[in-house]
Amino acid sequence: MDTTRKDSLASFWNGLSLKSSEVIYIYMSVIIAATILWLAWTSASSYFRTRARGQLPPGSFGFPIIGDTVQFVLAIGSDVGYRKWLQKKIAKYGPVFKWSFQGMPVVVMDPPGGHKFLFQNEGKLLETYSPVQMVSLWGDDSIVLQLGERHKLLRRHLSRFFDHASISRYLEGVNRNVVQHFSRHWADKEESEFELVPFDVISLYTFSDICNLLMSLDEGPELESFLKEFLKWQNGLLCLPINLPGFTYYKALKARKSILRILGEYVKQRKREVAEGRVSERAKLDILTNLLTVPNENGNLLSDSSIYDNLLMLLVAGFSTTSSALAMTIFYIGKNPEVYEQLVKEHKSILDRKREEGKDDVLIMDDLSAMRYTWQVIQETLRLQPPVGALFRRTTMDCEYKGYAIPKDWKLMCNIVNSHYDLNCFNEPMTFNPSRWEQPPIPFTFMPFGGGQRTCLGIEFAKMQMLVFIHHLVRRCRWSVTDPNETIIRDPVPRTQKTIKITSVAMSA
């Protein structure tokens, strides 16, 4: 090609090219326009549902079209920001108020009455609701999205894997995984000192534990690769639903596809093993084998898509919330040395008793029952830092609460964080005080595991996981936080980012 022609083409191409700033401007303009059109549609459709006979709850729908969506998404990025957003609204409008999220009217319910109304009326006046980004990320067959009899049938089927007998069978494996975790990821030499970020290292333990339970998948490169995709997926649950390259939601949708491919390979392999009668003794006990071989009460096996979506749900239930709860428990123990000393006494007494009876140190269910103070510490952590900050329901008909009219298709919000910090629900709510759990809380005020017919399926498994972990931790380590006033972020669950200082110890009998 001659020089003149090259120059002409170059000149033509440069004329079509845009500066990087112009590209960004056009890109953002398209995003904003698409978002406004979507919000305008949802807001307009919601407008015709806001007319009701009677007085609507006080509050404001915020900015036209977008409402309080942006402020809310920014606020939930940290523990303090979320509580300030709530406190500002409550101070202005009272404990029951309306606002707008993603173009939809939402009513925040007050504890405990509003939460009781929400949980006891599902299937009557209300049904479960998840924001649009969660619906696409969970999958159509997830139990999270099922309604009515379909939900009840699937819940009864999955509940069989988390009853007392099942938890007892899982205990040995969880205990073994915790011991291996400490030997691999925590210094285990007497009086050695080191630092680590609790959430980061605990995530490896909890993800390995739940993958072991679900699919007999052990810790290693394969699991770490799986974890990376899972974290990308999880980060999309509370983000703005912008499905364009570079945005969190876009990455989360791609991660879901990768996760489904990974799960698909495990399902295919296990199906072959079942058909050929060569399932290992260990795999016979995991949930995947049971989902493939044990029919529900109607005599039907779950479809592959239902297995994929509900394995994903169980991964969340056994990983994200437990990782957060354990990491935050370690943070609060590190800030309160007297709590650590009382924990040491409780776990030393368990070891002393076992050795006096001539038993080895392996934990059994009776030992977990003796960890009363440990569970109180975990409960107090879950009160201050609930892994899930809010739950939503949708009205299926016009209804009324405390004299306020709530139209059909409005969303009701059970604000867990607000309840856990309410002076009318908990005395001195800002204080970390495990002893408050010597008495049961007021009903419908403490909800780290949800409530009603959608209470977390794996609550007893999570409790067992956490008790076993804390038992081995206090046997091996003493620690302190590097910054007691560190800001707690929500990404999407509560966690800290700074290290703790650890000294390895050996608990003597």
Q: Which residues contact 155 (CB under 8 A, 6 or more apart)?
A: 143, 453, 457
Q: Which of 496, 442, 447, 420 is nearest to 86 (CA)?
A: 420
Q: What pLDDT, in 10s, does the model give residues 397-426?
A: 999 999 999 999 999 999 999 899 999 999
Q: What pLDDT, in 10s, does the model give residues 250-269?
A: 999 999 999 999 999 999 99
For residue 131, what pLDDT is reported?
A: 85
Average pLDDT (109-134) is 93
Q: What pLDDT, in 10s, does the model give residues 172-201?
A: 999 999 999 998 888 655 557 889 999 999
Average pLDDT (469-497) is 92
Q: Are 333 and 343 in contact (CB under 8 A)?
A: yes
Question: Of the ranges 154-163, 181-190, 310-319, 360-369, which one carries the lowest mean pLDDT score?
Answer: 181-190
In the structure, what pLDDT confidence band is assigned to residue 70 with cuts at 50, 70 and 90?
A: confident
Question: Of the ranges 64-68, 90-94, 436-440, 458-462, which one carries the lowest mean pLDDT score?
Answer: 64-68
DSSP 395: E
For residue 7, what pLDDT is reported?
A: 45
Residue 392's beta-bridge partner residues? 413
Q: Rounded CA gap, 134 and 117, in Å?
A: 24
Q: Rounded CA gap, 43 and 59, in Å?
A: 16
Average pLDDT (292-312) is 92
Q: Is the pLDDT of residue 348 over 60?
A: yes
For residue 28, what pLDDT is reported?
A: 55
In the structure, what pLDDT confidence band is assigned to residue 219 with cuts at 50, 70 and 90?
A: confident
Distances (CA, A) of 453 to 200, 225, 296, 449: 32, 35, 19, 11
Q: What pLDDT, in 10s, does the model give residues 23-45?
A: 344 445 555 665 565 555 555 54
Q: Is the pLDDT of residue 99 over 60?
A: yes
Strands 489-490 and 104-109: unpaired
Q: Rounded CA gap, 66 and 241, in Å?
A: 13
Domain boundaries, the chain: 3-36
| Residue scoring higher pLDDT (297 or 370) | 370
Give the number of residues written for the chain: 509
Q: Are 90 and 83 in contact (CB under 8 A)?
A: no
Q: Rounded CA gap, 214 and 262, in Å?
A: 13
Q: Is the pLDDT of residue 271 over 80?
A: yes
Q: Which of 63, 60, 58 is nearest to 93 (CA)?
A: 58
Q: What pLDDT, in 10s, does the model give residues 77-91?
A: 787 888 888 889 999
Give the dihedral of Cα atoms 282, 284, 288, 290; nearest 10 deg.
-150
Q: Is the pLDDT of residue 218 over 90?
A: no
In the structure, what pLDDT confidence band is assigned to residue 9 with cuts at 50, 70 and 90?
A: very low
Tell me whether residue 211 is annotated as binding.
no
In the chain, the percentage of residues whose pLDDT exceeds 90 is 65
Q: What pLDDT, in 10s, does the model give residues 273-291?
A: 999 999 998 888 899 999 9
Q: What pLDDT, in 10s, does the model give residues 313-333?
A: 998 888 889 999 999 999 999
For residue 454, what pLDDT is reported?
A: 92
Question: Of the ranges 56-70, 306-320, 472-486, which one carries the lowest mean pLDDT score?
Answer: 56-70
Residue with tokens 């291996």: 180
For residue 42, what pLDDT is reported?
A: 52
Taking the chain, what is the end-to-end CA distance rounded to the nearest angstrom?
A: 87
pTM to 2 decimals? 0.86
Tokens of residue 63, six digits? 């900015």
Q: Taking all residues of the chain, what is their mean pLDDT, rounded to a whole number?
A: 87
Residue 35 backbone phi and psi in degrees, to 5? -65, -40
Based on its alpha-carbon atoms, the radius of gyration of the chain, rounded to whole angstroms, reads 25
Q: Which residues contact 316 (CB under 8 A, 6 or more apart)?
A: 234
For residue 66, what pLDDT is reported?
A: 75
